[in-house]
Structure 1
Amino acid sequence: MTGLHERHLAVSPEWLALYYRHPLELTHGEGRHVWDADGTRYLDFFGGILTTMTAHGLPEVTKAVSEQAGRLIHSSTLYLNRPMVELAERVAALSGIPDARVFFTTSGTEANDTALLLATAHRGSNQILAMRNSYHGRSFSAVSVTGNRSWSTTSLSPLQTLYVHGGVRTRGPYAELSDERFVKACVADLEDLLGHTRGVAALIAEPVQGVGGFTAPPDGLYAAFREVLDRHGILWISDEVQTGWGRTGDHFWGWQAHASSGPPDILTFAKGIGNGMSIGGVVARAEVMNCLDASSISTFGGSPVTMAAGLANLSYLLEHDLQGNARRVGGLLIERLRALGAGLPAVREVRGRGLMIGIELVKPGSDDADPDAAAAVLEAAREGGLLIGKGGGHNTSVLRIAPPLSLTVAEAEEGAEILGEALRAAS
């Protein structure tokens, strides 16, 4: 155990998880690579939990942060803030939500907390629909709408939450159905659920479940849900903390895979937009955003420095078509990983879109999750020079692969080779 690890354990909560038997101290990064305190270089396929979206040490972002910090680091929302207004204008235009208003926070948890506040205030109800296997953050309210047991840290709740089926395509009672019948069954489940309650405020859903193991329903499920929600006046909150900014390749936002229903009533974002800086936020049409009847501010949300980083990062992403790169390179990577997994009985499924890929591991010859195998692959990949993540709704048995969106074909091939060796070693 290193000295820093011992010091960490002495002052940190026991529930603050660390990856690896011998935890890493990362000291610097460049492009798609990071280095640890011993000077070992790693290809980064997790990006600080999908947060380093464009690249480590991106000059455009570091320059913007440095220049803004040299002028003014902090002001709060009590003063006009040009970088905040400029980024809000760009996010509002990109959101697809008409007459959009934007409120910045410091994290995805805080963004979802704000969305729940808006929805419950607008509807006058504390009843929320959420998806099974979901994850929405670590605040009291966000935990109370999290449908993943591994991350639902308390049964106490300020909200009355009801869980809907549909976020996981290949497990559960409808797994054997065709996509069309799966959607119909999930809609029937939603209709039945609403028949037993009244006055629900909103449905909150991740278009692709992140912590849950990069699972997703068939395209169009949330559009079908939206028809039911609209009849009942229920709002739709799309949690885009992990799916936003083009990561799925096919779409800029995850909700656009269900676009026949139009944009959500409320959209939340965070992680990648700051490329490591603490930015989260909520977009909603004016009627919903303005429903609060008391004053509110944010001390740190919309900080001039983080907004400067977000503007530079978003400009880089759009100018270099990183969404297109995620589609092209991600498509190659997922096919390579599927080929590698085809001959390994421990690999149940390789799934994903763009540069958001999950590999679900099971005990060979069964459908039982194998978290020990996932932990072993995580360690073996590190030994090979590759950092990945893990998650899943069945005992953390899914390997999560989400590199920066500037990943090259050569780096995708290198990472797939290392991961293939790690999977075979763990098997």
Structure 2
Amino acid sequence: MTNDLLGRHRAVLPDWLALYYEEPLEITHGEGRHVWDAHGNRYLDFFGGILTTMTAHALPEVTKAVSEQAGRIIHSSTLYLNRPMVELAERVAQLSGIPDARVFFTTSGTEANDTALLLATTYRRSNTILAMRNSYHGRSFSSVGITGNRGWSPTSLSPLQTLYVHGGMRTRGPYAHLGDDDFTAACVDDLVDLLGHTRPPAALIAEPIQGVGGFTSPPDGLYAAFREVLHERGVLWIADEVQTGWGRTGEHFWGWQAHGRNGPPDIMTFAKGIGNGMSIGGVVARSEIMNCLDSNSISTFGGTQITMAAGLANLNYLLEHDLQGNARRVGGMLIERLRAAAAQVPAVREVRGRGLMIGIEITKPGTDEADPQAAAAVLEAAREGGLLIGKGGGHNTSALRVAPPLSLNVAEAEEGAAIFENALRSIQ
């Protein structure tokens, strides 16, 4: 059955549409933190559809909200007043920390970042964008143009002039040998030097923790230090919270808050987890930035009643059950468990992350050289053991990504860590 579906997939879908595993998996249903494949095998899900299933599979509160809304109306476009969209926008604006915030809903993180770039370049009258090396911001023409990860950037053509800044990867690059304070100072000096050689940019866009890049991050406070330099020149800060938002990091509700001593970003993008699998993305910005466009616009599918109903139910569940606190507690235990397991495996260069957003970097033992074959072998072994994880990293890194639903409990964390430990040992 699966082989037949794989053949049909290859016959009609693009060659560049990535599939995990030597024998790709068809997931047929899920419940809680588990999913089942077409052969009836059960897996503990530590990747959540690329961090989209944020609370749990088949969460009754979300399922009920979607079903009830579908019985009324599914979609009408933004040409009409939409109560669920207004209600979710009010909640997101308040939670964002951005003063006098306006919210625009999209269908994905890619589209959200597109919108943020449109706003920033229009507001600043500049098509120059600062982005981070090893970054990923989406698959559209403009978001590919600012992506600093070669493996996910299929073209160098772009409507934007993109300049890449040091700092997103703490343990690699020319400043990796420095302590945190000196690392930050060196990156700031590099930014100042870069700005001296170019026309004023529109914005810096940065993931507080790089997602596709392998869950890498700078020292806390780096982007706050960057913002001091940028603010003096009127350059905007766009925080890409597509993967870090909604409490996943445990310590903060938003990733930018680890860099927030100078206040919130000018623009923030979000997506993935808020819909718990439904297609929701969005942009939050100060009103004068959001309202800078001087022509009409709509969103046909952004903010549909059914996705907004799901987002409201999911957000309510997240807050009422303190899933941020759970990510901090269970995630802290899980990362320590993974570090203990990795300490016995020479191929593991680093276990990093915070909350339920953990990266395990795989290299050839005794070197800093990436080993994508070993990483792929761990991915396969974990699946064989009943655990689904993700992978990532730039052209010179190989990382495995662990990002379970935020309702993960201690027993499931222990079970997943044990499977992962066995998978790591299999490559020795």
TM-score scaled to structure 1, two decimals? 0.99
**Which residue type is aligned with residue 62 of structure 2?**
V
Alignment partner, residue 132 of structure 2 = 131
Contact 1:390 / 1:396 at 8 angstroms: preserved in 2? no
Partner deviation per Cα, 1:133-182 (whole Å, 9 max, x = no partner) = 00000000000000000001101011000000000000000001000000
User: What percentage of residue pairs aligned between the two structures are identical?
Assistant: 82
Contact 1:329 / 1:409 at 8 angstroms: preserved in 2? yes
Helix, strand or coil at the partner of 2:260: helix
Alignment partner, residue 246 of structure 1 = 247
Alignment partner, residue 285 of structure 2 = 284
Helix, strand or coil at the partner of 2:158: coil
Alignment partner, residue 416 of structure 1 = 417
Unmatched 5+ residue regions in structure 1? none
**Which residue type is aligned with residue 7 of structure 1?**
R
Partner deviation per Cα, 1:287-310 (whole Å, 9 max, x = no partner) = 000000000000000000000000
Alignment partner, residue 112 of structure 1 = 113
Partner deviation per Cα, 1:163-215 (whole Å, 9 max, x = no partner) = 00000000000001000000000000000000001221000000000000000
Task: Return the alpha-carbon distance in structure 2 between the equivalents of residues 365 and 80 of structure 1.
Answer: 60
2:222 matches 1:221: yes
Alignment partner, residue 22 of structure 1 = 23
Q: Which 10-residue stretch deviates more, 389-398 or 64-73?
A: 389-398
Helix, strand or coil at the partner of 1:2: helix
Offset of residue 396 of structure 1 = 5.7
Helix, strand or coil at the partner of 2:218: coil
Partner deviation per Cα, 1:34-60 (whole Å, 9 max, x = no partner) = 000000000000000000000000000
Contact 2:361 / 2:397 at 8 angstroms: preserved in 1? no
Kindly report structure 1 stretches of 4+ aligned residues shifted beyond 2 Å: none
Offset of residue 259 of structure 1 = 1.1
**Which residue type is aligned with residue 294 of structure 1?**
S
Offset of residue 395 of structure 1 = 5.1
Q: What is the correspondence of 1:190-201 to structure 2 with a 5 Å cutoff?
A: 190-201=191-202
Alignment partner, residue 397 of structure 1 = 398
Task: Return the alpha-carbon distance in structure 2 between the equivalents of residues 261 and 144 of structure 1.
Answer: 28
Task: Return the alpha-carbon distance in structure 2 between the equivalents of residues 206 and 5 of structure 1.
Answer: 34
Task: Return the alpha-carbon distance in structure 2 between the equivalents of residues 417 and 122 of structure 1.
Answer: 51
Task: Return the alpha-carbon distance in structure 2 between the equivalents of residues 130 and 259 of structure 1.
Answer: 18
Task: Return the alpha-carbon distance in structure 1 between the equivalents of residues 386 and 70 of structure 2.
Answer: 34
2:297 matches 1:299: no
Q: What is the correspondence of 1:8-407 to structure 2 with a 5 Å cutoff?
A: 8-394=9-395, 397-407=398-408
**Which residue type is aligned with residue 132 of structure 1?**
R
Contact 1:374 / 1:396 at 8 angstroms: preserved in 2? no
Contact 1:207 / 1:255 at 8 angstroms: preserved in 2? yes
Contact 2:240 / 2:270 at 8 angstroms: preserved in 1? yes
Unmatched 5+ residue regions in structure 2? none
Question: Between Structure 1 and Structure 2, how many residues are aligned?
Answer: 427
Offset of residue 398 of structure 1 = 0.3
**Which residue type is aligned with residue 105 of structure 1?**
T
TM-score scaled to structure 2, two decimals? 0.99
Contact 2:69 / 2:309 at 8 angstroms: preserved in 1? yes
Helix, strand or coil at the partner of 1:80: coil
**Which residue type is aligned with residue 235 of structure 2?**
I
Helix, strand or coil at the partner of 1:283: strand
Task: Return the alpha-carbon distance in structure 2 between the equivalents of residues 328 and 208 of structure 1.
Answer: 19
**Which residue type is aligned with residue 220 of structure 1?**
G
Offset of residue 394 of structure 1 = 3.5
Distance 1:42 1:396, change over 3 A: farther
Partner deviation per Cα, 1:82-113 (whole Å, 9 max, x = no partner) = 00000000000000000000000000000000
Task: Return the alpha-carbon distance in structure 2 between the equivalents of residues 236 and 259 of structure 1.
Answer: 12
Partner deviation per Cα, 1:46-80 (whole Å, 9 max, x = no partner) = 00000000000000000000000000011000000
Task: Return the alpha-carbon distance in structure 1 between the equivalents of residues 361 and 31 of structure 2.
Answer: 29
Give me the CA root mean square deviation: 0.6
Task: Return the alpha-carbon distance in structure 2 between the equivalents of residues 208 and 394 of structure 1.
Answer: 18
